[in-house]
Structure 1
């Protein structure tokens, strides 16, 4: 895969970018290779869903690494260009002085107003100019070569980003198709849909709905959960637990900024208690990993699961909305260091015994 080759090139060019980008690229390249092998080995529809889920997540991590690497390369390229521009002007002034001296008659160059001593000193100074100028020229030549290498790397990263964006879009389509073709998994619990429908009719907030849902019969689940769990989507935490937004509104959960069309996966095994639209929150998924604990994920555009389904850790739950950028737009934004790569937000809330708790106690925010 071209993206995998590009990721490996990011790793090998560690001097051109931050160490963190190289490490992320190495991990993403490994994930992409393993996902491709898993896809080749997939036999049934369920295996294909698992494999395609791994492919999409590897693509997401790989694009993030390439984006970070391209930004680092662009910053270095601009800094080196500015330095060369400054030094080029300095060397140009020096060459102008030497050129003026060369046009002067030779006898005048050998004479100095202060006499023989001044003439000797000026000759010594002139003899030192040429080696210094040669050293400046050599340094300039080396920096120009480095600049050319950086620009070639930048062009390769842009092409790889464009290929990667196209690849992840194809992988998402394939995943959606595989899920729609998959034989539905047997539900471990038949939810009382009448109860849920009645609950939806009398709640006006996500908190009230989650609290009411917690009063329904509990679902048997695993007793112990390893922590910290991974975030259900690739992104960064925009606002923490009860941290107010610009309007002063605080919520008992995390707001995670993520890319358009990002894949949302189950952070751990559990039973889906609700999946579908809710008020103005978009699509909401409520997962119960064990009795008395619920994960509320709000803001999805598309869901892959249904009420009563038992999902395993890493299973695809749905996709975020938003307009996915083209490869050209993605690479241009990455080079410019813009912030339009994470245009969507997923709200993550954890409730224990019916009350919200700080999700940071459950999830690794990095």
Structure 2
């Protein structure tokens, strides 16, 4: 008798635990409707886009940024160094955001698996709970009251002895799943808080970059006439060129012609004055003196050392199908809205501006017959004739719905930067140049 009563008590206890767990599983299954049914690889970036729209800088933060800019020595080298450092900080924050997004996707995947496990066991739990409920309404007879029912009591005890362990096992698994779900949910909220903080820091760094670029433009006011003339010549050549190859060839030819004319004029002036060659006029210089490169490393020697010009992932690589019946002549990098684009290597800006279907196009002469082509930006912050250092900001991507034709399932367009390397006028595979950390090879 006491053994049967203990079995019944165990059933009722197990029934209570399982009932609570079952209700929780039902609520978890209902909550599943609030999430996507399958992980979306672009969802983390879409979440970033939403957070970035809600981030605004306080007046105190803006005042501090302005004060920081004011303390920088107002010369070309100092501002350029500050720009490079700020761009590095912004891209580090961008990489942190990408990593947080990837971790969020992993956590959401775990959450989906747990909820799928709960939903899969819902029918089994319902059947067991129904049987327990029926047993509770019709308890087995007591042996001492009706001895003739002894056989029924023994049968009930045997049945309960078989059911209770299985029920306990199912309940323990269910409770473990619910506990893990709670942990995962807490982790997701923590990562979202980290994402919000990182986006806030990134927004401040973008503002710092904008203010530094303004300071640099004011500093270079005396060279604007020369740069404007250079840009007009570049635009005229671009209007005549029918392809990227023709554009680069005509720009290089024009550059060589100007250099030869400048050298000839300097030589003539020296002969006329019968003295040491004087500095040529600023307007005749193809590159402003204040921004000349002094000891650039050969581009061919930089293989395995170049970071992507923008934080993101390579979605389409050189040689792959471009979706229009041809092959990719460069790499396409998916990135974030407003991402800062930096020069991948030291070089001279051969062209900066719109060009046919490329949109905003930037061509850097990296030396030794190498050219770097960047396209897909919404804004370019350098001009033809300037020189840039590796890591120096040269432009920015547009907003998600404007910058690219690549759209995710939820309708968010992903900004994409097109990167093409050329050697002696022919496209080459940029893969050997990318550092492992940024190439997607690790």
Compute the TM-score of the two structures, normalised by the length of structure 2.
0.61
Provide the residue aligned with 1:319 in structure 2: 396
**What secondary structure, in the 3-state scheme, does the structure 1 residue paired with 2:418 have?**
strand
Task: Provide structure 1 residue ranges, at least 5 long, that are not aligned to the other structure.
Answer: 1-38, 326-336
* Aligned counterparts of 2:187 and 2:337: Cα–Cα separation in 1: 27
What aligned pairs does 1:95-106 form with structure 2 within 5 A after superposition? 95-104=129-138, 106=140
Provide the residue aligned with 2:23 in structure 1: none
Q: CA shift at 1:120, angstroms?
A: 4.8
Between 306-315 and 54-63, report the one with greater CA deviation. 306-315
Query: Does the CA contact (< 8 Å) of 1:258 and 1:342 recur in 2?
Result: no
Between 133-142 and 292-301, report the one with greater CA deviation. 133-142
More strand by share: 1
Q: CA shift at 1:197, angstroms?
A: 4.5
Q: What is the number of equivalent residue pairs in this alignment?
A: 313
Provide the residue aligned with 2:351 in structure 1: 274
Provide the residue aligned with 1:227 in structure 2: 303
- Determine which of 159, 166, 169 is the counterpart of 2:203: 169
- Determine which of 175, 181, 193 is the counterpart of 1:147: 181
Q: CA shift at 1:245, angstroms?
A: 2.5
Change (3 A) 1:344 1:355: same
- Determine which of 167, 172, 178 is the counterpart of 2:212: 178
| 2:419 matches 1:348 | yes
Query: Does the CA contact (< 8 Å) of 2:235 and 2:353 recur in 1?
Result: no
**What secondary structure, in the 3-state scheme, does the structure 1 residue paired with 2:121 have?**
helix
* Aligned counterparts of 1:342 and 1:225: Cα–Cα separation in 2: 36
Q: CA shift at 1:257, angstroms?
A: 2.4
Cα deviation, 1:323-360, whole Å, max 9, x if unaligned, reads: 489xxxxxxxxxxx967676122222211122222222
**What secondary structure, in the 3-state scheme, does the structure 1 residue paired with 2:365 have?**
strand
| 2:205 matches 1:205 | no
More helix by share: 2
Q: CA shift at 1:175, angstroms?
A: 0.9
Provide the residue aligned with 1:362 in structure 2: 433
Q: CA shift at 1:208, angstroms?
A: 1.8
- Determine which of 100, 103, 107 is the counterpart of 1:69: 103
Supply the RMSD in Å over aligned alpha carbons.
Answer: 3.6
Query: Does the CA contact (< 8 Å) of 1:261 and 1:320 recur in 2?
Result: yes
Q: CA shift at 1:51, angstroms?
A: 2.9
Change (3 A) 1:236 1:61: same
Task: Provide structure 2 residue ranges, at least 5 long, that are not aligned to the other structure.
Answer: 1-67, 74-78, 260-286, 288-292, 403-407
| 2:335 matches 1:258 | yes
Compute the TM-score of the two structures, normalised by the length of structure 1.
0.72
Change (3 A) 1:355 1:324: closer
Query: Does the CA contact (< 8 Å) of 1:235 and 1:342 recur in 2?
Result: no
What aligned pairs does 1:1-366 form with structure 2 within 5 A after superposition? 43-44=72-73, 45-104=79-138, 106-107=140-141, 120=154, 123-182=157-216, 183-184=219-220, 193=230, 196-215=234-253, 216-217=255-256, 221-223=296-298, 225-228=301-304, 229-323=306-400, 343-364=414-435, 365-366=439-440
Query: Does the CA contact (< 8 Å) of 2:401 and 2:414 recur in 1?
Result: no
Query: Does the CA contact (< 8 Å) of 2:400 and 2:412 recur in 1?
Result: no
Query: Does the CA contact (< 8 Å) of 1:239 and 1:255 recur in 2?
Result: yes
Cα deviation, 1:73-128, whole Å, max 9, x if unaligned, reads: 111112101212333432232122122123225339999xxx95x97565334224
Change (3 A) 1:345 1:106: closer
* Aligned counterparts of 2:399 and 2:156: Cα–Cα separation in 1: 71
Q: CA shift at 1:59, angstroms?
A: 1.8
